[in-house]
Chains A and B, each alone.
Chain A
Amino acid sequence: MTEIILRSLYVSGSALLLAALIGLPLGTALALGRFPLRRTAATLVYAGLALPPVVVGLAVYLLLSRSGPLGGLELIYSPPAMILAQALIATPYVAAITMAAVESVGPDVRLQARALGATPLQALLLHLREVRGSLVAALAAGFGAVISEVGAVMMVGGNVLGETRVMTTAIVLETRRGNFGLAIALGGVLLAIAFTVNAVLLALSRQSERRLFPS
């Protein structure tokens, strides 16, 4: 059971890391950038929030299956495949919330930072500092979306004991087997992890609110 819990944390944590590496810059660029198709890209990111995990699982399966374009990598039914699928699910959450947060501050913040002598990069970081609470919330939302997800990891991981079985797939399996005690225990741990991680992240986010004078 410990192994399953640790694997869940490893897969979802890695997926969140990937989603953060893509979603935070993407959301920032969509909020601040002025480039062609920006609105279209933003709409796609928001649409990504409604992406069914099983559809993501299917896409990743087709990509990584032996006959798929990346089949040669032999990643199907492995944790990296699960990480990829979960990262695709989490990225729209991270990007969309980041975009909304960064847009909420307005360009004057960077202008005022520039007026204090900030380089363009320093001005951007000072802008992001003002919404760091919301950025943490974006990560919390992304983590919440993937730690409890079952469809995609089942499809691309295969629920192989000792290799790709995570808490959600184990709960499905044990319930089918009638091992309700174990399923409930795993469910309790999953809930505890989800609540704890979100509570910590959201507590961090509440510490920093944007302050503008005068409002």
Chain B
Amino acid sequence: MSELLAAGKLEVRYHGRRVLDVEELTLCEGELLAVLGPNGAGKTTLMRVLSMLEKPQSGWVRYRDWTGAEAERALRRDAAVVFQRSHLWAGSVGYNVGLGLRLRRAGNNEMAERVHTACTALGIEDLIERDVANLSGGEAQRVAVARALILEPELLFLDEPTANLDAEVRAAFREDLARLTRSTVRGTLLITHDRAEAFYLADRVAVLKEGRLIQVGTPSDLYENPADPYIAEVTGAEFTLSGRVVGREDGLLLVDSGGVQLLSLGAAPDGADVRLAYRPEDLVLADEPRESSARNRFEASVTEVRPVGGLVRVRLDGPPGVVAVITRSSAEALGVRPGSRVTVHVKATALHAFPI
């Protein structure tokens, strides 16, 4: 894939405090890149810098072959931005959706036609005449997206587009974003703190924490090889296990956790205290030891059983605090209840040790 937008050595400081320090980031042609991070990580600042709406203290941004003022001009022409808090100018939905075209001095007929097309794509064609003061949150955000897409941008920047929507509206809106970003734009940068949104929509995810990119990769990369406890957490891992590195075996760490020795991925010196990230659904429970490719196996007593929807969350006391999630039917077949004994199988690659 060829490069559409790239940036490097970016540094932004507010009142002397460094809020962004990005070594390198690239958005490729046809790609949807999500920037994921907690609140205050610098995501919006990164978007503003990449869209050249804000100048960094140092660093460069390249759009296609352009840099500097040329890139800025080209981005104003080719890029559209949807802000987390989109400002709708006083007036009708139609006025707002057509505003970018009006600024480009499009003719009235062309504008009316394209406003209708853009509104139809977002399912708000019945609202064209409505005053923006009378819109719901979801409708207003659709207006903001229509206002961006009507410009037929090569590049689309979306800053937390679903953050202010309630759950039901968000799901439908996310589907529309998936469809529209694939069909109309050459590259999309999605800023979000919602891991589900990032992993559902993105080709690659860049994880930003305290202004720094800590990992950039496909959702599978991040899922399988989290580089940081935060990434492990956002990909659904839990940290209820801890222990100490007591040795190594086949490139894996041997970790003693409450008297149970577990093989795990990770990098830590011998004797280091570590937290073990794992996904509770990766633990397989059985009523007795069985043949398995999983290299970790231990006996445990069930201490708590809690149904969660169609699944059951089982707390165990093998290594203290370990949790497994199994289906209801598995729980019934195994007769899982407080006090019962089970054998736990878990692959070494499902455990990631992070030094404390």
Contacts and interface: CB of A to CB of B under 8 A. Distances in A.
Contacts of B53: 111, 114-115
Contact of B164 (A118, A208, A214): A214
Contact of A129 (B88, B90, B147): B90
Contact of B81 (A115, A129, A208, A214): A115
Contacts, number: 68
A117 interface: yes
A122 B103 contact: yes
B87 to A, nearest CB: 5
Nearest to B77: A117
Report which residue of A108, A112, A129, A130 has the largest number of chain B beta carbons within 10 angstroms of its beta carbon: A112
Q: Chain B: interface secondary structure?
A: mixed
Nearest to B163: A214
Nearest to B131: A211
Given A116-B100, A117-B104, A213 B83 contact: no
A213 B89 contact: no
A209 interface: yes
Given A108-B83, A213-B132, A117 B90 contact: no
A108 B147 contact: no
Report which residue of A126, A130, A213 has the largest number of chain B beta carbons within 10 angstroms of its beta carbon: A213
Report which residue of B79, B81, B151 has the largest number of chain A beta carbons within 10 angstroms of its beta carbon: B81
B85 interface: yes
Given A114-B76, A213-B135, A214-B164, A208 B90 contact: yes
Contacts of B178: none
A43 B227 CA distance: 54
B83 A117 contact: no
A112 B76 contact: no
B247 interface: no
Interface string B156-192: 0100000010000000000000000000000000000
A109 B51 CA distance: 16
Interface of A: 108-109, 111-119, 122, 126, 129-130, 208-214
13 contacts: A113-B103, A115-B80, A117-B77, A118-B103, A119-B103, A122-B103, A208-B90, A211-B133, A213-B135, A213-B141, A214-B85, A214-B140, A214-B164
